[in-house]
């Protein structure tokens, strides 16, 4: 038996296909392949940069979907199904919105692969794939199952190893798909299994893709004590309440932490209360727009990737512009000025829907006219276009060469070691380039006809080459 694993891309630019030059290894598919019985042949195609050979014989196609890639995933599914190959869809989007996905596949898988994937593979082997598998969510790779990292070799991924220490988060921010998926719970792997996984790969730079690595401070401290002797450098995603615990900060620094993706979300305390972002309100010194907390991050040399969700009900055009000034003043390593996005399955989506504020028929991810980074709802204090424009202007300023140069001069963070400076200088221009390329991109590749019919000619290698010839972009 042979299974083809596919990571779909988001879509296309007006003039050419979008190739993701900052792509990371698709860990979900590596984990899935690792959980597949060893007698099954596994191949992986990543639509973010390579052409999918739809005519290559295979017995089952497994596609991992997050919401931005849903439209393209349905197109890919249609290609295979038109050739008589069964398709199963899994991941965050099918798990949070199964009703939609069911229409585009032979089978959908809800929840974590650890729990029922082996059963689905056996069913497919017998030609008896069920239309739907409802699986649990929980501790990742229990029993020490390792991702099939051999499937990533030669595909030009960024040179860092993605790994999980935990899944989920204890908080309940109203816009967060993770909180909806894991029902406000964090599931932590046994330390020895994570350490063994680090040993069983070659790199010394690890990205723990946890939703909130520090959701449980005591568990994180215990893990970090054991991580110190591994002598790796690592980054992760974590909430800002980490700065309340200096012992934790110390352990992170000692174990090689370079920094985190930190969700600041907004500089308006009213917006933070509205979105129920509890960790951002757990400050010892009172509300000071994160000044003291950012200073603690800097003391420990953390290179912060600040993320914001902009367009909450108390946000204004001025407060969004001030958010950019806040990020510049603090010379963050990276910043993502994200438009607040209503994901189905979240309280935010339900609220905006009930208030009649959703645009694009409430399904922006499928809409043929929706473009990447466009507002998808009617904000309270500005028009949707104003929200789109002010965020783009902040992003544009943030990514300019002048800004990259100016932000570099922080001797506590980016200039505190050669490695940190290298990381800053290597990744900033790369992310800036990707940011410009993705802005305004259309979702999926097929602009004609309903979604979920084979794309045919538009997805062939020939059409990529033709568009590359005219645009110079591959």
Rounded CA-CA distance 215/199 in Å is 25
Question: Measured from the CB atom, is 25 or 315 closer to ligand B12?
Answer: 25
* Shortest distance (Å) from residue 211 CB to ligand B12: 5
* Shortest distance (Å) from residue 307 CB to ligand SF4: 9
When CB distances are held under 5 to 8 angstroms depending on the partner's kind, the choice from ligand B12, ligand SF4, none that residue 91 binds is: ligand B12
Residues sharing a CB contact under 8 Å with residue 435, sequence separation 6 or more, in sequence order: 395, 399
Residue 36 has φ and ψ, to the nearest 5°, of -85, 140
Longest dimension (CA), the chain: 62
Question: Measured from the CB atom, is 196 or 247 closer to ligand B12?
Answer: 196
Question: Measured from the CB atom, is 139 or 278 closer to ligand SF4?
Answer: 278
Question: Measured from the CB atom, is 36 or 403 closer to ligand B12?
Answer: 36
Rounded CA-CA distance 242/418 in Å is 26
* Shortest distance (Å) from residue 212 CB to ligand SF4: 4
Overall size of the chain counted in residues: 474
When CB distances are held under 5 to 8 angstroms depending on the partner's kind, the choice from ligand SF4, ligand B12, none that residue 279 binds is: ligand SF4
Cβ-contact 10, 440 below 8 angstroms:
no
Structure-block tokens of residue 308: 């914001």
Question: Measured from the CB atom, is 209 or 262 closer to ligand B12?
Answer: 209
Question: Measured from the CB atom, is 169 or 249 closer to ligand B12?
Answer: 169
Provide the binding-site residues for ligand SF4, judged by CB under 6 A.
169, 171-173, 176, 178-179, 211-212, 239, 263, 277, 279
* Shortest distance (Å) from residue 58 CB to ligand B12: 14
Structure-block tokens of residue 36: 């597949």
* Shortest distance (Å) from residue 285 CB to ligand B12: 28
Residues sharing a CB contact under 8 Å with residue 370, sequence separation 6 or more, in sequence order: 360, 364, 376, 442, 443
Provide the binding-site residues for ligand B12, judged by CB under 6 A.
10, 24-28, 31-32, 62, 64, 66-69, 88, 90-93, 96, 109, 112-114, 117, 162, 164, 167, 176-178, 209, 211, 338, 343
* Shortest distance (Å) from residue 267 CB to ligand B12: 19
Question: Measured from the CB atom, is 133 or 250 closer to ligand B12?
Answer: 133
Cβ-contact 458, 79 below 8 angstroms:
no
When CB distances are held under 5 to 8 angstroms depending on the partner's kind, the choice from ligand B12, ligand SF4, none that residue 67 binds is: ligand B12
When CB distances are held under 5 to 8 angstroms depending on the partner's kind, the choice from ligand B12, ligand SF4, none that residue 112 binds is: ligand B12
Rounded CA-CA distance 168/363 in Å is 25
When CB distances are held under 5 to 8 angstroms depending on the partner's kind, the choice from ligand SF4, ligand B12, none that residue 88 binds is: ligand B12
Give per-residue burial for 358-380: e unless 16+ CB within 10 Å, then b: bbbebebbbbeebbbbbbbbbbe
Q: Which long-range contacts (CB under 8 A, 24 or more apart) does 117-120 make?
A: 117/32, 117/35, 117/36, 118/35, 118/36, 118/37, 120/88
């Amino acid at each position: 038996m042979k299974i083809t694993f596919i990571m779909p891309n988001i879509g296309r630019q007006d003039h050419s296909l979008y190739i993701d030059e900052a792509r990371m290894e698709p860990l979900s598919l590596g984990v899935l392949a690792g959980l597949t019985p060893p007698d099954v042949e596994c191949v992986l195609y990543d639509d973010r940069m390579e052409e999918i050979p739809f005519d290559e014989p295979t017995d089952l196609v497994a596609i991992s979907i997050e919401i931005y890639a849903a439209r393209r995933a349905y197109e890919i599914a249609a290609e295979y199904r038109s050739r008589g190959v069964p398709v199963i869809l899994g991941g965050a989007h099918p798990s949070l919105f199964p009703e939609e996905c069911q229409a585009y596949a032979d089978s959908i898988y809800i929840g974590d692969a650890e729990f029922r994937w082996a059963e689905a593979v056996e069913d497919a082997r017998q030609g008896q794939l069920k239309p739907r598998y409802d699986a649990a969510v929980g501790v990742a790779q229990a029993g020490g199952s390792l991702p099939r990292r051999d499937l990533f070799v030669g595909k030009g991924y960024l040179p860092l190893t993605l790994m999980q220490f935990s899944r989920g988060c204890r908080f309940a921010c109203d816009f967060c798909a993770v909180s909806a998926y894991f029902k406000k719970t964090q599931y932590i792997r046994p330390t020895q299994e994570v350490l063994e996984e680090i040993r069983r790969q070659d790199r010394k730079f690890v990205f723990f893709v946890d939703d909130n690595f520090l959701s449980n401070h005591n568990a994180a401290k215990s893990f970090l004590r054991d991580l110190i002797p591994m002598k790796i450098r690592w980054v992760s995603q974590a909430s800002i309440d980490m700065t309340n615990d200096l012992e934790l900060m110390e352990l992170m620094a000692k174990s090689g932490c370079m920094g985190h993706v930190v969700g600041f979300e907004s500089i308006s305390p009213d917006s933070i209360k509205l979105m129920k972002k509890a960790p951002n309100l757990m400050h010892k010194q009172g509300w000071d727009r994160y000044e003291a907390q950012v200073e603690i991050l800097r003391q420990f040399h953390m290179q912060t990737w600040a993320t914001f969700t902009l367009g909450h009900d108390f946000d204004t055009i001025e407060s969004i512009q001030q958010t950019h000034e806040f990020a510049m003043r603090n010379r963050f390593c990276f910043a993502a000025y994200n438009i607040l996005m209503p994901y189905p399955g979240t309280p935010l989506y339900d609220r905006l829907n009930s208030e009649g504020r959703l645009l694009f028929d409430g399904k922006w991810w499928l809409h043929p006219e929706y473009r990447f980074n466009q507002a998808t709802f009617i904000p309270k204090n500005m028009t949707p276009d104003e929200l789109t424009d002010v965020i783009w202007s902040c992003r544009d300023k943030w990514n300019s060469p002048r800004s990259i140069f100016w932000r570099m001069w922080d001797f506590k963070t980016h200039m505190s070691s050669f490695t940190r400076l290298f990381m800053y200088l290597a990744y900033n221009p790369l992310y800036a380039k990707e940011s410009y390329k993705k802005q305004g991109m259309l979702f999926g590749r097929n602009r004609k006809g309903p979604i979920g019919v084979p794309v045919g000619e538009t997805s062939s290698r020939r059409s990529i080459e033709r568009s590359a010839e005219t645009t110079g972009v591959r």
